Amino acid sequence: MQSFKEKDKKYIANTYGRFDIEVAYGKGSYVYDINDREYIDLSSGIAVNTLGMADDEWALAVYDQLKKCQHTSNLYYSEPCVRLAEILCERTGAKKVFFGNSGAEANECAIKVARLWGAENKGSEYYNIITLKNSFHGRTITTLAATGQDVFHKDFTPLTEGFLYGEANNLESIEVLLKENKCCAVMMELVQGEGGVLALDHDFAVGVSNLCEKYNTLLVIDEVQTGNGRSGELYAYQCYGLKPDVVSTAKGLGGGLPIGACMMYEKTENVLKPSLHGSTFGGNPIACASAIHVLNRIDSKLLSEVKEKSKYVFDTLNGADGIESVSGLGLMIGIKTTGDVSIILQKCIEKGILPIKAKNKLRLLPALNIPMELLVKAVDIIKQVASENK
């Protein structure tokens, strides 16, 4: 008999390095392995399980829809996806929404919208999109091209043409690119998640927005990871006071079910026309019912709790023994330890908490409703482990 882990190695494409834990079930911010060992979940499925594991009310909302209709196709009207789009528009000022199934797909849509807008408003040679070095926008060939990190590009070339890379927090680098190239958009994350949980400077983000006005280009914000309450506002651009033209989101939107959305604002709402884009599963009723429930739970009370919990983590870890710096926004937090991060992560797991890594940092992405006492317990463990392994 092969062990479960051997079978995973044998049958699953070898793309992921896994921790030596088999998650079997969970409740809220507790997860349990097959031997019923308990852990405090600090990554919530990489910012996906917004309300934690197997939340009762969420499960009921999903089950109610599951009993009615699991899928219709986009050839018919379907209530859950319209209701979800309406909620998103009302809470963001977006005008129209396109639904897909993942972050990469949301970004593919954003990129197509930007190019269509460029062709329609400036000319088809205005296809270039400026993204940032150290960004992450997805794994498809085009979203890899958008991703400003060479390590992801190697051996996948030629990638989709037309992406130029500026430097985060260097406004000059963006203006040079805008001036010297025919561009339709600047696309960026406001907190570079995979890049090491780095929040853009407020002045830089506002500056890019002003440059987009000046050079008549779109501002596209990738909120795949920062979105859906994680920043302490529904979308991180609301923390920065920006007025984007396109916003993509996914991860936490479905609370654990696959859904991505590309939101279009005033300048871009009429760019997509019949047959220019599509997705078979896009707007799936189960995923939409799930997202409606998640958004309804992300109310002002939950958002202020996110801010409070964030402040607690920053205040407690900033300047603590063995901790060099704390970065990020809301409940998207990077911790630079003086000691080896891989060793520290392993010790954290041994002590029953599950953070993850981003570059050379410990990364925390807990469920937004993680109880304060669990967060306190987890942060204490991080503090202790960082100090013992500095």
102 near ligand PLP, rule: CB under 6 A: yes
Residues between 10 and 69 that touch ligand PLP (CB under 6 A):
none
Asked whether the bond before 158 is cis by omega within 30 degrees of 0, the reply is yes
189 near ligand PLP, rule: CB under 6 A: yes
Residues between 242 and 261 that touch ligand PLP (CB under 6 A):
250-251
333 near ligand PLP, rule: CB under 6 A: no
Q: Which of 179, 202, 177 is nearest to 190 (CA)?
A: 202
193 near ligand PLP, rule: CB under 6 A: yes
Q: Which of 195, 25, 185, 211 is nearest to 119 (CA)?
A: 185
- Give dist(CA 37, CA 57) in Å, integer: 25
221 near ligand PLP, rule: CB under 6 A: no
Amino acid at 65: Q
Residue with Cβ nearer ligand PLP (92 or 142) = 142
Stretches 65-73, 103-111, 153-161, 179-187: which one binds ligand PLP (CB under 6 A)? 103-111
Provide, rounded to whole angstroms, the least separation between the CB of residue 161 and ligand PLP: 20
Provide, rounded to whole angstroms, the least separation between the CB of residue 32 and ligand PLP: 25
Residues between 132 and 151 that touch ligand PLP (CB under 6 A):
136-138
Phi (first) and psi of residue 329, to 5 degrees? -155, 140
Stretches 30-38, 61-69, 98-106, 280-288: which one binds ligand PLP (CB under 6 A)? 98-106
Q: Which residues contact 174 (CB under 8 A, 6 or more apart)?
A: 130, 166, 167, 186, 207, 208, 211
Stretches 173-181, 217-225, 372-380, 381-389: which one binds ligand PLP (CB under 6 A)? 217-225
Site string for ligand PLP, 283-312 (x = CB under 6 A): ------------------------------
131 near ligand PLP, rule: CB under 6 A: no
Q: Which residues contact 163 (CB under 8 A, 6 or more apart)?
A: 128, 129, 130, 131, 145, 146, 148
Q: Which residue is nearest to ligand PLP (CB)?
A: 103
Contact 195, 359 (CB under 8 A): yes
Stretches 89-97, 186-194, 286-294, 298-306: which one binds ligand PLP (CB under 6 A)? 186-194
Total residues at interface with ligand PLP (CB under 6 A):
15
Side-chain half-sphere CA neighbours of 51 within 13 A: 22
222 near ligand PLP, rule: CB under 6 A: yes
- Specify the 3-state DSSP secondary structure of 283: coil
Tell me how many degrees the CA angle 265-271-272 measures, rounded to the nearest 5: 105
Per the document, the length of the chain is: 390
Residue ranges that bind ligand PLP, judged by CB under 6 A: 102-104, 107, 136-138, 189, 193-194, 222, 224-225, 250-251
